[in-house]
Amino acid sequence: MKDERGERKEERDAREHILAYIASHHVLTLATEHNHVPWAASLFYANDGLTLYFVSDPETRHAQNIAANPHVAATIHEDYDDWRSIQGVQLEGACREITDPIESARARVVYASKFPFIADLLRAPRELGTAFARARWYKIEPTWARFTDNTRGFGWKEVLSLRAS
């Protein structure tokens, strides 16, 4: 039976587990590609539902790759020393620089709610204020996500396919 989103119980469960996991973590590994050359970068992120926001200098390699090819993949996980404890989210989707001022303001509010240190950049260390002055907001809209949880058995997974926004 489907709910108001048109999701079955398995999809609802996957969405809930993925949302809980990404809300409780802070760093994602972003994978980008340009001219068949892959790149990965670790970034702080904040989420609004399944939409992920991050801030980055547009001159970084990952930002340049996004400008050329918005299709990205990302992982969110911890560093485990026992395979039975492994949990994490893998996702793929579209990433873009946010250019609309209202949308940028929304991203900043979402980000500041998770990372209060950026709420008042005037009081932040100079290096952070300088970095934010040249940085831009980016948004990842997942089209597919998978939650892996070895605490439920080796290779246990839930998959969520999403409509592109």
Spell 43-56 as b/e; 16+ CB within 10 A means b.
Answer: bebbbeebbbbbbb
Largest CA distance in the chain: 54
Q: What is the mean pLDDT of residues 8-16?
A: 90
Radius of gyration of the chain (CA): 17
> pLDDT at residue 11 above 50?
yes
Over residues 13-40, the pLDDT tens digits come to 999 999 999 999 999 999 999 999 999 9
Domains recognised in the chain with CATH numbers: 9-161 (2.30.110.10)
d(CA 36, CA 93): 18
- At residue 114's C-alpha, the angle toward residues 109 and 117, to 5°, is 85
Given pLDDT bands bounded at 50, 70 and 90, which one contains residue 123? Answer: low
User: Please, are residues 130 and 62 in contact by the beta-carbon 8 Å criterion?
Assistant: no
Given pLDDT bands bounded at 50, 70 and 90, which one contains residue 128? Answer: low
The model carries a pTM of: 0.88
User: Please, are residues 91 and 124 in contact by the beta-carbon 8 Å criterion?
Assistant: no
At 82 the three-state DSSP class reads coil
- At residue 47's C-alpha, the angle toward residues 143 and 110, to 5°, is 140
> pLDDT at residue 165 above 50?
no
State residue 25's pLDDT score.
97
> pLDDT at residue 109 above 50?
yes
Over residues 69-80, the pLDDT tens digits come to 999 999 999 999
State residue 164's pLDDT score.
52
